[in-house]
Chain A
Amino acid sequence: MAPVSGSDLADVPDPSPVPAEKPRGPERTSAVAGAFKDALVSGLLTALLFLPLVGFRASESSTGSLVLTYRFGLVAIFAGIVMVGRFLLMVTVWNPNRPPRRVSTTPGVMARLGALASPAVKPVFFSFAILYPFLSILLAGGLSPSRYWVDLGIYVLTYVMLGWGLNIVVGLAGLLDLGYVAFYAVGAYTFALLSTSVPINDFFAGTLGDDFWTAWAFWICLPLSGILAAMWGVILGFPVLRLRGDYLAIVTLAFGEIIRLVLINWVSLTNGGAGISSIPPITFFGVPFDSSETGFASIFGLEFNSMHRMFFLYFVILGLAALTAVVTIRLRKMPVGRAWEALREDEIACRSLGINTTLTKLTAFATGAMFGGFAGAFFAVRIRFVSPESFTFMESAVILAIVVLGGMGSQMGVAGAAILLIGGMELLRNLSFLKADFLFGSDFDPSLYRMLIFGFAMVAVMVWRPRGLVSSRMPTIFLKERKAVSGSLVKEGHG
């Protein structure tokens, strides 16, 4: 648990800094005394909070019934950590005697630096993304050892793409969608079902050759997945888009869950919870990545290596993500994109200007869904296995968190958040050094703490930067000078 945050603010919810007009007499001692008191309270609170579930543990005994084991020492350690941490914070960062920070309405230093650097950020990011697999070969020392890093890159880029797709819905149009994973699932299942379909395979085997469908399934299904997901976006969006605010969020959440539950229960179509396996792998536009005569390696005169496919997957997802970014940038400069942003700012004003808000919301929803569908098809061809397990609410929440943490509407912010969250979460898998004897011992399983830290990070980042990493907005057109719009003016939408 985080320490309870500092001084009581005024009753009126107003994010103004703590008033500092205190007599400058015995403040030094009182600050330390106050900090000590606060620390003591926080420590006690932590002890109380941790007492039931950390202090006791209901463990399974050999007979199967539960017995209690005790870990009061652990509670004391946590309480101590919180106490010390809180004390240090109270005398330094949260010290009430520190001069309050100036609150300015103009974009802060970070925002201005960002604005200065922003022309360079995108090319640098994109070049890095292109060079990344080669860098990982260099650093990992060979093609095969780079597997982990390239795979991580693919994984992160999938979320970058999903974040950018959802960003259209949430960041631009201001529609809160908690069921985005439904479209990801539609895309994945579309590809999985079509590519493993025996009748389709037989049909093409009879007309275009035995291997045709295996070789081309992905490239034919990719656009189909996007289109179907977009269609689902329209079907689901039509009845719900007149709802406002949190209601829309809840309905989309419910839709996401319904789709997942149907995938689990409609066993005859989807094979239920067991999922669909043996999905054909990706091909280099019809050329398989195998060691055969007609495979990728022999045709290009390379020595066969399973990493070729991995590399190709990396560039496919990079291309898909770039497509998402380019389309979004283009759309933002078109009337429909401006209408999305206007919708986020003020829906009623939009209607007074003749904009059909239902239609505009639907386009945003469908466009976002389409990119979700593309990403889903990619997911299926990468893993070569789909099951409802992959499309839980948690997935939607993670994608939404990426968008919000990135700063709604900002593509670079979203990419940054995806790298931070997903990359960070993956790196947490490698906490095995904690197993060292002098730390937690070998029976310590660090991967358990991954989601715990993830949840904690979500809360912490939100409290630290409620508007996300990049909070300013870049105008889509300018007369003389493109100036970033401060995040405090940008609305977050109501629907």
Chain B
Amino acid sequence: MDVFLQQLINGLTLGSIYGLIAIGYTMVFGIIGMVNFAHGDVFMVSAFIALICVLLLTTVVGLSSIFLILAITLVVAMLFTGLVSWTIERVAYRPLRGSFRLAPMISAIGMSILLSNFVQVAQGPRNKPLPPMVTEVIVIRETNGYEVTLAYKQIIIMVVTAVLLAGFWYLVKKTPLGRAQRACEQDRKMAALLGVNVDQTIALTFVIGAALAAVAGVMYLMYYGVVNFADGFVPGVKAFTAAVLGGIGSLPGAVLGGILIGLIETFWSAYFSIEYKDVAAFSILVVTLIFLPQGLLGRPEVEKV
């Protein structure tokens, strides 16, 4: 029971991070039908930007308030990562829009290689550790020396995720931008004819997705305290799995999928074997796609003859 509770907390934390990344996949897939392979690496880049920002604030500026540091880092990472993603869309994807279906995918794979190696060259191949940032924990219960703890940083992650998701939800559901997005999703040509600026809408989709990935990046850095240039791929694939599990194209699905993947991963590690935790995540992806291709909250696709 105690182990279960602890794993539940850890799983929800991890799931929040996956969910945030997954939204980027699901939004981009929804609007232009493309798997943005570079999204995982955009997440990694955001974690590096956060690392630089934290170092700058702590060692150069000399800020000591951890919450101020986190808030500034969050904003800086979101802005810069959004810019990176905007540029990627503009340079590597937009020229290929409306052409051959595989071209943007290959371009995205190339971009993924480019980003991770760019970071490797610019920042070096070694792990970048930060001193632990938020170390306080709340002990929820204790039996026989086994403590079930809820760390402050876990609370921060869940709260930030929840708040940002709410804001993002409002953005997509209630604002003209959200409406334009949904219009482009339905029929891009028609939306253009009705005066929606399709290019701008798609670019903004990439920026929003990247900004949420940046939040995930900051949280990741704070939670694990270390980041490496190769850290984009596996969380990227898992977040994609989350998006698929929840039903690709569905925003609540992405979050639900993220949380489920996070829970499955932590429980699998705790109860079965930690070595096979990634195998478990990938197997879920395969099984979902085979038996429930539309995902948990997605709409089934009817084959048009």
Contacts and interface: CB of A to CB of B under 8 A. Distances in A.
Interface in A27-58: 45, 48-49, 51-54, 56-58
Contacts of A58: 48, 51-52, 55, 123, 128
Interface string A456-470: 111100110011000
A250 B118 CA distance: 25
Contact of A448 (B83, B87, B121, B285): B121
B273 to A, nearest CB: 8
B80 interface: yes
B63 to A, nearest CB: 14
A251 B99 contact: no
Given A58-B51, A251-B289, A255-B282, 19 more contacts: A5-B94, A53-B119, A56-B55, A58-B123, A59-B124, A247-B289, A250-B35, A251-B285, A254-B237, A258-B283, A348-B303, A394-B113, A408-B102, A451-B117, A452-B120, A455-B113, A455-B114, A462-B106, A467-B100
Interface string B93-117: 0111111111111110111111101
Q: What 8 pairs across the A-B complex have the smallest Cβ distances?
A: A458-B110, A455-B113, A455-B114, A13-B98, A466-B103, A452-B117, A11-B192, A459-B110
Contacts of A235: none
B35 A401 contact: no
B210 to A, nearest CB: 13
A393 interface: yes
Contacts of B275: 264-265
A202 interface: no
Given A251-B286, A261-B282, A452-B117, A53 B52 contact: yes
B45 interface: yes
A462 B283 CA distance: 32
Given A449-B121, A452-B118, A459 B92 contact: yes
Contacts of B193: 12
Contacts of A14: 98
Contacts of A57: 122-124
Contacts of A120: none
Interface residues of B, number: 83
A53 B118 contact: yes
A66 interface: yes
**Which of A66, A262, A405 has the most chain B CB within a 10 Å cutoff?**
A66
Contacts of B131: 65
Interface of A: 1-5, 8-9, 11-15, 45, 48-49, 51-54, 56-60, 64-68, 170, 176, 239-240, 243-247, 249-251, 253-255, 257-258, 261-262, 264-265, 348, 393-394, 397, 400-401, 404-405, 408, 448-449, 451-452, 454-459, 462-463, 466-467, 492
B55 A66 contact: yes
A7 B121 CA distance: 32
Given A5-B91, A459-B107, A261 B126 contact: no
Main secondary structure of the interface of A (DSSP, over half): helix
Nearest to B240: A250
B106 A405 contact: yes
Contacts of A251: 285-286, 289-290
B244 interface: yes
B305 interface: yes
Contact of A250 (B98, B244, B305): B244
Interface of B: 29, 33-35, 45, 48-49, 51-53, 55-56, 59-60, 76, 80, 83-84, 87, 90-92, 94-107, 109-115, 117-124, 126, 128-131, 188-189, 192-193, 196-199, 233, 237, 240-241, 244, 275-276, 278-279, 282-283, 285-286, 289-290, 293, 301, 303, 305
Contact of A401 (B91, B99, B106): B106
A12 B97 CA distance: 10
A48 B119 CA distance: 15
B83 A49 contact: yes
A68 B290 contact: no
A407 B119 CA distance: 30
A457 B285 contact: no
Nearest to B79: A48
A68 B55 contact: yes
Contacts of B87: 1, 4, 45, 49
Contact of A492 (B56, B60, B100): B100
B110 A455 contact: yes
B103 A53 contact: no
Nearest to A490: B100
A129 B63 CA distance: 64
Nearest to B126: A60
Interface centre among B33, B55, B109, B131, by most chain A C-beta atoms within 10 angstroms, is B109
Given A53-B119, A54-B122, A249-B35, A240 B286 contact: yes
A68 B60 contact: yes
B242 to A, nearest CB: 12
Contact of A52 (B35, B49, B95, B301): B49
B237 A253 contact: yes
Contacts of A457: 110
A58 B107 CA distance: 29
A239 B293 CA distance: 12
A246 B289 CA distance: 11
B117 A52 contact: no
B198 A12 contact: yes
A408 B91 CA distance: 23
Contacts of A463: 91-92, 95-96, 107
A90 to B, nearest CB: 15
B49 A404 contact: no
A492 B112 CA distance: 23
B298 to A, nearest CB: 11
